[in-house]
Amino acid sequence: MGKVLGIVAEYNPFHNGHLYHLEKAKKDTGSSYTVAIMGGNFTQRGSASLIDKWSKAQVAIQNGIDLVIELPVLYATSSAENFAEGAIKILDSLIVVDYISFGTETSDVEILDKCADILYHEPKKYKTLLSHELSKGLSFPKARENALMMYLNDIRKFANVLSSPNNILGIEYLKALKKLKSNIEPHSIPRYEVGYHDLNYTENTASSTAIRNMIKNNGFNALSNLMPASSYSILMSNMKSGHIVSDISVFEKEIIYRLRTMTTSQIAELPDVSEGLEFAIKNAANSCNSFSEFINIIKSKRYTTTRIQRILLYALLGITKKEIALSKKTQPYVRVLGLNKRGKFLISEIAKANPKLDIITSVKRFTESNSNKSLQLMLDKDIDATNIYTIGYEEDSWSNLDFTHKIITL
């Protein structure tokens, strides 16, 4: 068989920049097949996906992905480190994947690889520098960036490398590859025309952030130029049927309700909660009833908006530190969301290459036959996440879609 390319994505939503990356990665690596490990209904930055995971899988397959595998929610909503490691664990377990391609803000992969090497081995001097920076009350990402630049002793060369979202994920992919001693070869593509958080856009290119912002503010006029036709069509179809979730604030009442009914000890068990933050969260939940007000009360130099949003999402989904710790020790299953004819061939080759791999094509069948409690807990969290996600719909908020929705086949 030909070369197989792996991509990790959220496709929230799939736009022209994603299509550019996919087509260039295929060309650069000479790959004949493409597997996407895709985040589902909730995202790594603590928000909700615009459209559901099956709609995203359909868009991905219509635009050149052969096989879409869901990244379980315990990874998909986690820190960059656990997000990346979960995705790489799945890609590596497939055996057949030759490359992973990811977007970066820098074209110098050697810089990213050097950073990944330090973060993987954690030399004593670096750990001392990190502790010193954390003692200043900085957030962990900023403290890590400062410590790395001081350790490398070249601020000019490494400035802003660790403050760019795609670079951070790229470093974590590289670190995970080292940790797993994977044979998958990394391949990076510099971002095309617009930045990750850029709200501006060119004639036919915009970031996912800009597109989500347009939709939230009813600015639909430019959308058809910024997305492939199939992606735009599926987005509009979901919008007309009332199946759009604009962002996490849609669930603000559910989140505040959860936090008001939780004890401070239970809040302390939410991932990313430390140093007494549970008391501030409890006080905020008891004194406000909007998402934005809550964020403004809690955020500080140490606690970034993204970190707080993730904590609130964990509260909504009922995810605990213990469950995140379990995900770090578990080899995840392969949950197929969608595939085409080449994807069907890939699945058969994957099953041959790794006969012991847990491949889920039917949640009902897997639940009935599975005896692995860790995998069942992980899958239960995916099911819960879908059931909660559909509460955000304006129409037809059905539950148990993980049992009733068919795999997308094209």
Q: Are 46 and 77 in contact (CB under 8 A)?
A: yes
What local confidence, expressed as pLDDT, does residue 198 receive?
Answer: 52
pLDDT in tens for each of the 410 residues of the chain?
899 999 999 999 999 999 999 999 999 999 999 999 999 999 999 999 999 999 999 999 999 999 999 999 999 999 999 999 999 999 999 999 999 999 998 877 888 999 999 999 999 999 999 999 999 988 888 898 889 888 988 766 676 677 788 899 999 999 999 999 999 999 999 876 545 455 556 668 888 888 888 887 776 777 888 999 999 999 999 999 999 999 999 999 999 999 999 999 999 999 999 989 999 999 999 999 899 999 999 988 788 899 999 999 999 999 999 999 999 999 999 999 999 999 999 999 999 999 999 999 999 999 999 999 999 999 999 999 999 999 999 999 999 999 999 999 98
**Cα separation of 316 and 217, whole Å?**
25
35 bridge partner residues: 6, 67
pLDDT at residue 100, as a whole number: 97
Give one word for 318, left, alpha or beta, with left for phi > 0 and alpha for psi -120 to 50. left
Please tell me the total number of residues recorded for the chain in this structure.
410
Q: Which pLDDT belongs to residue 203?
A: 64
Task: State whether the Cα torsion 20-60-221-50 is positive or negative.
Answer: negative
With a CB cutoff of 8 Å and minimum separation 6, the contacts of 44 are 10, 76, 77, 78, 80, 83
Identify the pLDDT of residue 214.
Answer: 86
In this prediction, residue 219 carries a pLDDT of 67
Contacts of residue 21, defined as CB under 8 A and 6 or more positions apart, other chains included, come to: 7, 101, 103, 189, 192
Q: What's the pTM value of the predicted model, to 2 decimals? A: 0.94
Distance of alpha carbon 249 from alpha carbon 289, whole angstroms: 11
Residue of 156, 158, 141 whose CA lies nearest to 303: 141
Per-residue confidence (pLDDT) for residue 142, from 0 to 100: 85
- How much is the pLDDT for 199? 52
Nearest Cα to Cα of residue 307 among 257, 270, 358, 269: 270
**Is 10 in contact with 49 (CB distance < 8 Å)?**
yes
* SS3 letters across the chain: CCEEEEEEECCCCCCHHHHHHHHHHHHHHCEEEEEEEEECCECCCCCECCCCHHHHHHHHHHCCCCEEEEECHHHHCCCHHHHHHHHHHHHHHCCCCCEEEEEECCCCHHHHHHHHHHHHHCCHHHHHHHHHHHCCCCCHHHHHHHHHHHHHCCHHHHCCHHHCHHHHHHHHHHHHHHHCCCCCEEEEEECCCCCCCCCCCCCCCCCHHHHHHHHHCCCCCCHHHHCCHHHHHHHHHHHHCCCCCCCHHHHHHHHHHHHHHCCHHHHHCCCCCCCCHHHHHHHHHHHCCCHHHHHHHHCCCCCCHHHHHHHHHHHHHCCCHHHHHHHHHCCCCEEEEEECHHHHHHHHHHHHHCCCCCEECCHHHHHHHCCCHHHHHHHHHHHHHHHHHHHHCCCCCCCCHHHHCCCEEC
The predicted structure's pLDDT at residue 131: 95
Could you give the C-alpha distances from 182 to 170, 172, 173, 359, in angstroms and in order? Answer: 15, 14, 11, 20
Structure tokens at 279: 């008391």
